[in-house]
Amino acid sequence: MSDDARVFEAERARLRSLGYRMLGSMADADDVVQETWLRWERLGVDGRRLVERPPAWFTTTASRLALDRLKSAQRQREQYVGPWLPEPVITDGDPAESVELAESITLGFLAVLERLGPVERAVFLLADVFAEPFSSIAAVVGRSEEACRQIASRARRRVRADRPGTRPAPAHDDELLRSFLVACSLGDLDEFRKVLTDDVVLVSDGGRDVHAARRPVVGLHRVSRFLRVLATRLPADAVMELHTVNGEPGFVLLHHGWPRFVLALEADGDRVAAIRVIVNPEKLERIRAVPAL
């Protein structure tokens, strides 16, 4: 491997992580990383020597590519059938680098970012999650540094309004998940009371071709009823694999070796405050092969 390739490979995971948070799609993130590498190659030996800080060049290039894709993707998502959730990622054994990075990969956080405009999302992620200087961010979005600071401040307020604070993780993720599964298998409201908050929200993403709730299901009684019905419809020979999904307790349901759905639980203390279920087969194609971020 050449020195130039080694320099790029050292940054690949970080660029992939950035691309996924920008786009909510691992396939798109990988495309962004690959195109960044191709542009690095096209600079040629002489061009690469002129780049003083290759990591900064990679970040700027990947961010611009992701921003272009995001502008196109947001137009498509406006016509999406039902609630939109990001492509899930299995993050088993992935030690979070910081509280901010751990929170920024959750499905709930990424769904909140969907409410930002493309430039707002890029500026917010680069500034608040990846700690890029505003001079670099300005080069990515084509705005002044002062404008980027204002955009970041506005985006920060909007994100905090939707997610007032990072909810404390349960002391034992596995215990919470198992209690949740027991409640689903028994279908008993008293069991659900032990594990779900009164204002619990369930969001399911089936896309155009798979049946799912077209609107969020809200409240203990409605969510518990939804889960009871879901449990009765599972194939008898389905296999459940417990995983960490986007940094939260969850599982993958497999049938004949193929994922039928992925579920992730967002905890508020020792109970579940939000449940997110991805049924859209297009978002499950890579679920077994995707390495942790």
Residue 27: closest CA among 15, 19, 36 = 19
Tokens matching residue 292: 């942790």
pLDDT at 95: 52
Specify the pLDDT at position 288. 61
What the block records as the tokens of 244 is 């960490």
Nearest 10 degrees: Cα torsion 243, 23, 34, 257: 30
Q: How many CB atoms lie within 10 A of CB 97?
A: 10
Range 17-28 average pLDDT: 94
In angstroms, rounded to a whole number, what is the distance separating the alpha carbons of residues 42 and 44? Answer: 5
Domains and CATH numbers, the chain: 1-79 (1.10.1740), 173-283 (3.10.450.50)
pTM of the model: 0.88
Phi-psi region for residue 133, left (φ > 0), alpha (ψ -120 to 50) or beta?
beta
Give pLDDT, residue 123: 97
Calpha distance 189→184 (Å, rounded)? 9
Instruction: For residue range 24-61, list pLDDT tens digits in order.
Output: 999 999 999 999 999 999 998 888 888 889 999 999 99
Kindly report the backbone phi and psi dihedral angles of residue 205, in degrees, each rounded to the nearest multiple of 5, phi listed first: -115, 105
Tokens of 36: 């960044």
- Over range 265-279, report the average pLDDT: 93
Whether the CB-CB separation of 114 and 24 falls below 8 Å is answered with yes
For the stretch 202-237, pLDDT in tens is 999 877 677 677 789 999 999 999 999 888 888 889
Both ends of the chain: CA-CA distance in Å?
Answer: 23
DSSP secondary structure string for all residues of 44-82: HHHHHHT-S-HHHHHHHHHHHHHHHHHHHHHHHHTT-SS
Residue 253, pLDDT > 90, answer yes
Residue 79 has what pLDDT?
A: 66
Q: Considering the chain, what percentage of its residues have pLDDT values greater than 70?
A: 88
pLDDT digits (tens, 9 = 90+) for 125-169: 999 999 999 999 999 999 999 999 999 999 999 999 887 655 545
Q: How far apart are CA 189 and CA 227, in angstroms?
A: 11
Q: Which residues contact 283 (CB under 8 A, 6 or more apart)?
A: 85, 86, 87, 88, 205, 207
Amino acid letter, residue 134 = F
Going from the C-alpha of 200 to that of each of 216, 223, 244, the distances in angstroms are 10, 7, 20
Q: Give residue 31's pLDDT.
A: 96
Task: Return the half-sphere exposure (C-beta side, CA atoms, 13 A cut-off) of residue 74.
Answer: 17
Two tokens, residue 115:
């409410």
Question: Taking the CA of residue 138 as centre, how many other CA atoms within 13 Å lie in the half-sphere pointing to its CB?
Answer: 11
Average pLDDT for the chain: 87
Instruction: Report phi then psi at 163, rounded to 5.
Output: -130, 85
Tens digits of residue pLDDT in 78-125:
666 678 899 999 988 765 444 456 778 899 999 999 999 999 999 999
Shortest CA distance to 227 belongs to which of 267, 200, 259, 258?
200
